[in-house]
Amino acid sequence: MLIQIKKVEARQFRRVLKSGRTTPLLFECEDVATGQKEEYVVKLKGSLDRRDRGLICELVSSTIARFMGFNTPPIAVVNIDAQMASLIDAIPKDKIDSSIGLNFGSKLLSGGYFNLPNDYPLTNHMEQAAAEIIIFDALIQNFDRRAGKPNMFIKGDEIYIFDHELAFSFLELIGKRDSPWEQAAFSSCVRGHFFYRQLKGRTLSLERITQGIKNMGDDFLLDVQASIPEEWKDGEIGHIFDHLKAIVENADRFIEGVRREMV
């Protein structure tokens, strides 16, 4: 397996980062392999509506994003043991107790990063990145990057994406699912996207992102699937990779569908 997801141990609780539905926590963590200590923003499985499935969506989406060249924080699987959980009283006890074990973490980004405001003036470089982010979110069916909730930082003219726990939204559907490369599957994702209004009608090069999708071959997807901790896996996990494989096999049709949505 070529993909190795770092595993770290939560050693010291720092603080709750923000209020809200998921209440991520900041921990100082120690790399199991090297002993290196770094701070990670940790999504607790006990705080996620989708529980382990939300952790899977975070890991798979972040791994694909890095493979495709997007700026996104380095990730890790974060173990919280019972002793650490017993010391944390900043969130409800049931949330931390049900998070004992493996959780999803992303390395804290600090120094010059800030949340991307609505209608922020985009440079040419940022416009290109924004167009590719729309396609990425359509690929993973992430409806959560919208006006008022960008889930993005900027530093200079670089955009950093994060927060993908609600990706692969088709997993929540009951009944027939649309073919993932067809417009019906991602239309509302594109039209509701944070960048849609700014980029609607613009002509931007999509060759790089198209090739990035085509490069996600069977070996890569199998490696991503194998990197998911066993304790997170459920019977729906295969549907995520069937979805991705179907888009890879129909990449040109998928991209053309996104183009039509952006006209």
Angle at 216 between CA 170 and CA 164, to 5 degrees: 40
Q: Please tell me the pTM assigned to this model.
A: 0.95
What is the band of 23 on the pLDDT scale with cuts at 50, 70, 90? confident
Whether 19 has a pLDDT exceeding 60, the answer reads no
The Cβ of residue 187 has, within 10 Å, a number of other Cβ atoms equal to: 16
pLDDT in tens, 63-93: 999 999 999 999 999 999 999 999 999 999 9
Task: For residue 140, give every residue at least 6 positions away whose Cβ sits within 8 Å of its Cβ, in sequence order, or none.
Answer: 57, 60, 61, 64, 164, 167, 168
What is the band of 49 on the pLDDT scale with cuts at 50, 70, 90? confident
Q: At what angle do helices 218-226 and 237-249 cross, to 10 degrees?
A: 160
pLDDT in tens, 151-172: 999 999 999 999 999 999 999 8
Q: Rounded to an integer, what distance in angstroms lies between the CA atom of residue 114 and that of residue 153?
A: 5
Locate 106 and state its tokens: 């992303």
**Which residues lie across from 42 on neighbouring strands?**
25, 105
Whether 122 has a pLDDT exceeding 60, the answer reads yes
- End-to-end C-alpha distance for the chain, whole angstroms: 41
Whether 176 has a pLDDT exceeding 80, the answer reads no
**Which residues lie across from 9 on neighbouring strands?**
30, 79
Whether 1 has a pLDDT exceeding 80, the answer reads no
Q: How far is CA 90 from CA 24, 40, 95, in A?
A: 11, 17, 10
The residue to which tokens 């890790």 are assigned: 76
Whether 12 has a pLDDT exceeding 70, the answer reads yes
Locate 28 and state its tokens: 């100082």
pLDDT at position 173: 80
Cβ-contact 91, 16 below 8 angstroms: yes
